[in-house]
Structure 1
Amino acid sequence: MSQLQNSYGTCTTHRHQLKLKFPEHKSSLKLLSALTFPNVLARCWLPRESTDDEERQTLLTPSSTAPSTLTERYGLSTIILHYGVHSSVRVCTRKSPSAGASRQLHVVKILRRSSDALVRATQRFEQSLSSAVSHPNLLQTIDVLQNEHGETCLVMDYCAGGNLNALIATAEDSIDALQADCFFKQIMRAVTYLHDNAIAHRGLKTENILLTAHGAVKVADFGSAEWLLDEVADGEHAENRIRLQLSSLYSPRKLRGSIPYLPPEEFSNYATVDPRAGDVWAAGLVYMAMRCGRLLWRMPCADEDGGYSAYLRGRQTYDGYPPIEALEEVRFSSGFQGLGESLFTRCRNVIYAMLHPDPVRRIKASEVLRSEWVYYVQVCDAGEIGW
Structure 2
Amino acid sequence: MNEPPLKDPAQSKPVSNGSPTPSAVPSQPPSTAPSPVLQPNVANNTSVSGGLISLPGSGVATPSAVPQQEKKTFGSRLTRMFSQSGAKAKEAEKARAALAEAEASSRSSKEKDRNTAAEKRPEIIKKSSDSSVPTVSGKSKSGLASGGAALVRFSMNEDGTHEHHLRSAKRQEKLSDMIRDLMGGGKKRDENAPERDGLSLMSSWVDQLRSEKDKLASDKKAGANSSATLVEKYGKCQEIIGRGAFGIVRISHKADPNNHGHEQLYAVKEFKRRPTESHRKYHKRLTSEFCISSSLRHPNVIHTLDLLQDAKGDYCEVMEFCAGGDLYSLVLAAGKLDVAEADCYFKQLMRGVEYMHEMGVAHRDLKPENLLLTTHGSLKITDFGNGECFRMAWESEPHMTGGLCGSGPYIAPEEYTEKEFDPRAVDVWATGVIYMAMRTGRHLWRVAKRDEDEFFEKYLEGRKDEDGYAPIENLRRARCRNVIYSILDPNPTRRITAAQVLKSEWGREIKVCKAGEEGSH
Q: Same fold (TM over 0.5)?
A: yes
Aligned 8 A contact 1:81 1:91 in 2: no
1:222 aligns with 2:384: yes
Q: Is the 8 A contact 2:344 2:511 kept in 1?
A: yes
Q: Is the CA contact (8 Å cut-off) linking 2:400 and 2:421 kept in structure 1?
A: no
- Check 1:83–1:202 CA distance in 2 against 1; reply closer, same or farther (3 A cut): closer
Is contact 2:342-2:435 (8 Å) kept?
yes
Letter paired with 2:498: A
| Structure 1, 87-96 or 98-107: larger mean CA deviation | 98-107
Q: Give SS of 2:443's match.
A: coil
The structural deviation recorded for 1:386 is 0.8
Counterpart of 2:499 in structure 1 is 366
Alpha-carbon distance in structure 1 between the residues aligned to 2:495 and 2:416: 16
AA in 1 matched with 2:405: R
Identity %: 42
Equivalent position amino acid for 1:301 in 2: K
Distance change >3 Å, CA 277–CA 195, structure 1 → 2: same
1:144 CA drift (Å): 2.9
Q: Distance in 2 between matches of 1:359 and 1:116?
A: 37
Q: 1:274 aligns with which of 389, 410, 422?
A: 422
Q: What is the Cα deviation at residue 363 of structure 1?
A: 0.6
Contact kept, 8 Å, 2:404 with 2:416, in 1: the verdict is no
Determine if contact 2:307/2:316 at 8 Å carries over to the other structure.
yes
Relative contact order, CA 8 A, sep 6+: which one is greater? 1
Structure 2 contact 294–305 (Cα < 8 Å) conserved: no
Q: How does 1:149-298 map to 2 (within 5 A)?
A: 149-171=312-334, 173-229=335-391, 232-235=393-396, 255-269=404-418, 271-298=419-446
Distance 2:509 2:319 in 1: 32
Give the corresponding residue for 2:294.
Answer: 131
Contact 2:378–2:515 (CA under 8 A) maintained in structure 1? yes
Question: TM-score under structure 2 normalisation?
Answer: 0.56
Code of the residue aligned with 1:176 in structure 2: it is: D
138-147 vs 349-358, which moves further: 138-147
- The equivalent of 2:220 in structure 1 is none
1:88 aligns with 2:212: no
How far did residue 31 of structure 1 move?
Answer: 10
Aligned mate of 2:307, from 144, 147, 150: 144
Distance (whole Å) between structure 1 residues aligned to residue 484 and residue 211 of structure 2 = 33
Deviation of 1:115 after TM superposition, in Å, equals 2.3
Post-superposition CA distance 1:167-188 (Å, at most 9, x none)? 10111x4100001101100000
- Residue correspondences, number: 321
2:155 corresponds to which letter in structure 1?
Q
Letter in 1 for 2:156: L
Q: Does structure 1 retain, via aligned residues, the 8 Å contact 2:402–2:421? A: no
Establish whether residue 326 from structure 1 lines up as the match of residue 487 from structure 2.
Answer: no
Q: Distance in 2 between matches of 1:352 and 1:99?
A: 50
TM-score (norm 1): 0.75
Tell me, yes or no, if structure 1 residue 352 matches structure 2 residue 485: yes
CA separation of 1:352 and 1:83: change in aligned 2, threshold 3 A: closer
* Aligned residues of 1:138 and 1:218 also touching (Cα < 8 A): yes
State the SS of the aligned residue for 1:69. Answer: helix
| Deviations, residues 259-292 of structure 1 (Å, cap 9, x unaligned) | 21000011124x3211110000000000000000
Q: What is the CA–CA distance in structure 1 between the aligned matches of 2:279 and 2:333, rounded to whole Å?
A: 40
For the structure 1 residues 312 and 151, does the alpha-carbon distance in structure 2 shift closer, same or farther, using more than 3 Å as the test? Answer: same
Deviation at 1:105, TM superposition (A): 3.3
- Whether the aligned pair in 2 keeps the contact of 1:76 and 1:94 (CA below 8 Å) is no
Give the secondary structure class of the aligned counterpart of 1:89: strand
1:295/1:150 CA distance change after superposition, 3 Å: same
1:195-228, Cα deviation, whole Å (9 max, x unpaired): 1122111110000011001100011111111101
Cα 1:36/1:315, change in 2 over 3 Å = farther
Question: Of the candidates 79, 88, 99, which is equivalent to residue 240 of structure 2?
Answer: 79
| 1:123–1:251 distance in 2 versus 1, CA, 3 Å | farther
Rounded Cα–Cα distance in structure 2 between residues aligned with 1:153 and 1:92: 11
CA distance in 2, matches of 1:253, 1:314: 28
SS of 2:475's equivalent in the other structure is: helix
Is 1:78–1:93's contact at 8 Å kept on the other side of the alignment? no
Distance across 1 between alignment mates of 2:165 and 2:420? 43
1:90 and 1:151 mapped to 2: Cα distance?
Answer: 14
**Corresponding letter in the other structure for 1:165:** Y
CA gap 1:36/1:255 in 2 versus in 1, 3 angstroms: farther
Q: CA deviation at 1:92?
A: 3.0
Match of 1:242 in 2: none
State the distance in 1 between where 2:322 and 2:400 align: 28
| C-alpha distance in 1 between matches for 2:434 and 2:355 | 18
Matched, 1:4 2:156: yes
Please tell me the residue identity of whatever aligns with 1:206. Answer: P
Q: Structure 1 12/78 Cα, relative in aligned 2: closer, same or farther at 3 Å?
A: same
Q: 1:31 to 1:115 in 2, by over 3 A?
A: farther
- How much does 1:148 deviate? 1.2
Distance across 2 between alignment mates of 1:35 and 1:24: 10
Report the AA paired with residue 367 of structure 1. Answer: Q
Listed as ranges, the matches of 1:52-71 within 5 Å are: 68-71=228-231
Q: Quick one: structure 1 residues 225 and 36, their matched pair in 2 at CA, closer, same or farther if it must change by over 3 Å?
A: farther
Q: In the TM superposition, what whole-angstrom CA distance separates every residue of 1:333-382 from its partner, at most 9, and x where no partner exists?
A: xxxxxxxxxxx212100000000001111111110010000111111110
Letter of the 1:90 partner, please give it.
R
Conserved? CA contact 2:401–2:422, under 8 Å: no
Contact persistence 1:31–1:80 (CA under 8 A): no
Deviation at residue 5 of structure 1 after TM alignment: 4.9
- Asked whether the equivalents of residues 445 and 455 of structure 2 are also in contact (C-alpha less than 8 Å), the reply is yes
Give unpaired runs (5+ residues) of structure 1.
Answer: 38-65, 238-249, 329-343
